[in-house]
Amino acid sequence: MATSNSRSCLQYLFHLAQDNLDFRLAEIKALLALRGKPFLPCENFKEKSPFWCLDGLAEDDVHGIMTRSVCAKSAFELWGHGRTHSELRASLLNYPSENMRVFMQKDSTYRINVYTFNKTVEFGDRIKKIDAMEYLPFEGTVNLKSPQHIFCLLEDYGTDPNNIPEHPDNIFFGRWIADGQRELIRSHSVKNRHFIGNTSMDAGLSFIMANHAKVKENDLVFDPFVGTGSLLVACSHFGAYVCGTDIDYNTIHGKGRSSRKNQKWRGPDENIRANLRQYGTEKMYLDVMVSDASKPVWREAALFDAIITDPPYGIRESTRRTGSHRDITKPAESIYVESHVPVSQAYHLSDIFSDLLNFSAHHLVMGGRLVYWLPVYRPEYCDEMVPLHPCLRLISNCEQTLSSHTSRRLITMEKIKEPEELEILAHLADPRFSPYQGHNAFREKYFSGLNKRSCKEDNTSNVNK
């Protein structure tokens, strides 16, 4: 691998977590896009590898990405790379000394860490690996506790735990720049959250969604199926003002049965505002209200910088909307109108998604993003099933497998033009934009699959809706 030859065109090495593999590329690309930077992988880029080398970045960009990413663990300024230690040595000796010198001066302190991926290396062997790097011209003093500069030797032993090679496939050496935000997954875990429900979104995925949506400070973010507000929690952490709606009165008002094991009823102050308060972002809370996402309640304007949501799939939660059979069979001026009490009728998944895309086309600002989950029956899935809209460009489509036969896909779209009356009519007639009706049978397919296999296979404790 060629290393850079001036401090202005350095390469950076990202060490990524090996979970949520399918979401990593879209996250890093979105965070780069937030900074107006393209994704420029170095030669031999492998998406599933824990190590990515990127070109075309400045150190500030790397810091910016690492203040947001929950997929990246750490980032380094890459000084050398090889498939063997002697290749690494040649690469490091070839690295411009003016790039290193400033971090190796006499009055500086430093430490070298050794990190091995997919192999445990004993303490003594780690020390030997560090000693073997004596060819690097360090002039400073070693300080293990609080050094000014941290360097890291990273060895990659592949991704197959059942087939660990004796020698690493790749070895990197670089200067540590920053760690990512993996800690948010623990600090915001729903296990310790004040207000939760049966379908509260996992903290890591909520932050990933906010990143895919490019949510930034002072944005206005809306979740039309807000539930307990997990997505609002993540977006408010990144400095966005947040609001949401839900058809369920109890959820919005924090009343009714508790989802906690040892608690029958929700306690006072178990609500979305309290969740934001728990994480110190209450000032970003605008409001939430009871409303049916299928009904137009917003004024006709582009209001939101991002729409992020997790619609009901009809598994743990019913997919309902307000209305009754009377809506279909009786004319509006019917005698029933005066005494009408809203009841509910089925809200088919295909309608949920086409309403969501239409709503987003009308209410996102230009360039604003829609991020949502689409449940799919895996044996039948093909990309053509992903709903499209002429005003929204598909940015990414990432799969989270739930079981052998079901998964959900995180869809990210960006608004590229304003909807126009004529175009809307044309779009209704265009088969590319007509909703895939197969989504409506997701519930039946989900349960038919369940009967065919053991429940142990199911990986959906918190995600069946």
Ligand X SMILES: C[S@@+](CC[C@H](N)C(=O)[O-])C[C@H]1O[C@@H](n2cnc3c(N)ncnc32)[C@H](O)[C@@H]1O
Three-state SS across the chain? CCCCCCCCCCCEEEEECCCCHHHHHHHHHHHHHHCCCCCCECCCCCCCCCEEEECCCCHHHHHHHHCCCCCEEEEEEEEEEECCHHHHHHHHHHCCHHHHHCCCCCCCEEEEEEEEECCCCCHHHHHHHHHCCCCCCCCCEECCCCCCEEEEEEEECCCCCCCCCCCCCEEEEEEEEEECCCHHHHHCCHHHCCCCCCCCCCHHHHHHHHHHCCCCCCCEEEECCCCCCHHHHHHHHCCCEEEEEECCHHHHHCCCECCCCCCCECCCCCCHHHHHHHCCCHHHEEEEEECCCCCCCCCCCCCEEEEEECCCCCCCCCCEEECCHHHHHCCCCCCCCCCCCCCEEECCHHHHHHHHHHHHHHHEEEEEEEEEEEEEEHHHCCHHHCCCECCEEEEEEEEEECCCCEEEEEEEEEECCCCCHHHHHHHHHCHHHCCCHHHHHHHHHHHHHHHHCCHHHCCCCCCCC
Q: Which of the stretches 96-104, 179-187, 318-326, 403-411 binds ligand X when contact is defined by CB under 6 A?
A: 318-326
200 makes contact with ligand X (CB under 6 A): yes
Q: How far is the CB of 303 from ligand X (least distance, A)?
A: 17
For residue 312, state whether it binds ligand X (rule: CB under 6 A).
Answer: yes
Question: With CB under 6 A, what is the number of residues at the site for ligand X?
Answer: 26
Contact status: 317 vs ligand X (CB under 6 A): yes
Residues 323-352 that bind ligand X (CB under 6 A): 347
Is residue 247 involved in binding ligand X (CB under 6 A)?
A: yes
By CB under 6 A, residue 55 contacts ligand X: no
User: Does 465 help bind ligand X (rule: CB under 6 A)?
Assistant: yes
321 part of the interface to ligand X, by CB under 6 A: yes
CB nearer ligand X, residue 118 or residue 228? 228
Asked whether position 225 contacts ligand X by CB under 6 A, the answer is yes
Residue 346 Cβ vs ligand X, minimum distance, rounded to whole Å: 10
For the bound state, the minimum distance from the C-beta of residue 371 to ligand X, rounded and expressed in Å, comes to 12
Nearest residue to ligand X, using CB?
A: 227
355 binds ligand X (CB under 6 A): no
- Which of residues 318 and 334 has its CB atom nearest to ligand X in the complex? 318
Does 292 participate in binding ligand X (rule CB under 6 A)? yes
Q: Smallest distance from the beta carbon of 375 to ligand X, in angstroms?
A: 10
Q: Which is nearer to ligand X, 74 or 275 (CB)?
A: 275
Q: Which is nearer to ligand X, 61 or 246 (CB)?
A: 246
Q: Answer yes or no whether residue 294 interacts with ligand X by CB under 6 A.
A: yes
Cβ 310 to ligand X shortest distance, Å: 4
CB of 256 to ligand X, least distance (A): 11
| 320 near ligand X, rule: CB under 6 A | yes
Footprint on residues 249-288 left by ligand X (CB under 6 A): 251
Is the Cβ of residue 153 or residue 288 nearer to ligand X in the bound state?
Answer: 288
Where does this chain bind ligand X (CB under 6 A)?
Answer: 197, 199-201, 224-225, 227-228, 230-231, 245-248, 251, 292-294, 310, 312, 317, 319-321, 347, 465
